[in-house]
Amino acid sequence: MATHKTVLITGATRGIGKGLALAFADAGWIVYGTGRCAAKDAHAWADAQKIILKELSVTDSAGMAALMQEIKEKHGLLDCLINNAGVASNTPASALSSEEISRIIDTNFRAVFECSQSYYKMQRKAGGCIINVASVLGMVGTSLASVYSGTKGAVIAMTKSLAIEWANSGFRVNAICPGFIDTDMTDMIKKREAIMKKLFEVIPLKRLGRPEDIAAPALMLASDAASYITGQTIVVDGGLTAM
């Protein structure tokens, strides 16, 4: 049954973002997504689900603000913003260039803040819901992810701060921390049998997560059933961080 609620999901053309977009559309939400719409078959599956994709980088703060305003003007309200877009890196810390550091920080942290800020300023009097997709690597360390882990840890801390600061304006701000999810971002890991074997040794549920495993808590956090939940981090990692 249609909810007539609207959601904007960044990085919605693949991986976790695509899974989120499909799940929200299936639940009756009006779904807008941003990302690399030139990705193979992106428009085909989106059109089939009536998902509206926009070719827009999250680092384009003016463009993102304009899209939010467009959604609000067309539908009366942007009920939920999901900051999902992100970039990863497997470069050793000693070899990271200034350009790569900036790219990771600008996408994974700065854009999350600026999108949240634009959403808040646009809808200050009406309230809203923000869900930030962080990572378990923002909670625990690993090799080859120094700056990536740093940005995801910063997103978790920022989520808590914004939840407190914007509570009086009727905003709820929460984060989801995925573990290792079966998407194209983990293809490099899946191709290496030794790494996969070691990974399954430390994941109690003995499998990679699926995009729908992230969509389920996102739908809950975006719903009225979560009206008393803010400033929280939901970990979805098959038990990895419980070890």
For 6-242, give the CATH class: alpha beta
The residue to which tokens 């009756």 are assigned: 28
**pLDDT at residue 131 greater than cutoff 90:** yes
- Coil, strand or helix: which one is 219? helix
Cα–Cα distances (Å) from 83 to 173, 223, 231, in that order, read 11, 16, 15
Quickly state the pLDDT bin for 194 (edges 50, 70, 90): confident
Task: Report pLDDT for 183.
Answer: 86
Say if residues 40 and 88 touch (Cβ distance below 8 Å): no
CB 152 within 8 A of CB 137: yes
Q: How far apart are the first and last CA of the chain?
A: 40
- Asked if 148 is an active-site residue, the reply is yes
- What is the rounded average pLDDT for all residues in the chain? 94
Q: Which residues contact 212 (CB under 8 A, 6 or more apart)?
A: 19, 23
Q: What's the rounded Cα separation, in Å, for the pair 31 and 18?
A: 11
The contacts found for 180-183 with CB under 8 angstroms, 24 or more apart, are 180/208, 180/209, 180/237, 180/238, 180/240, 181/15, 181/16, 181/208, 181/209, 181/210, 181/211, 181/213, 181/214, 182/208, 182/209, 182/210, 182/211, 183/14, 183/15, 183/16, 183/211
What confidence score (pLDDT) does residue 56 get? 96
Spatial distance between the Cα atoms of 171 and 190, rounded to a whole number of angstroms: 39
pLDDT of 187: 64
Predicted confidence (pLDDT) at residue 188 exceeds the cutoff of 70: no
The structural domains of the chain, with segments of one domain joined by +, span 6-242
Contact 219, 23 (CB under 8 A): yes
User: Which is the catalytic residue, given 32, 119, 148, 228?
Assistant: 148
Residue 197 has what pLDDT? 87
Give the other-Cβ count within 10 Å of 189's Cβ. Answer: 14
Element housing 80 (H / E): strand 80-83
Q: Report the pLDDT value the prediction gives residue 42, as an integer from 0 to 100.
A: 73
| Burial grade of 213 (CB within 10 A; 0-12, 13-18, 19 or more) | buried
pTM: 0.95
CB 38 within 8 A of CB 13: no
Distance from C-alpha of 54 to C-alpha of 141, rounded to nearest angstrom = 34
Q: Which of 31-40, 120-129, 194-203 has the highest mean pLDDT?
A: 120-129
> pLDDT class for 2, splitting at 50, 70, 90?
low
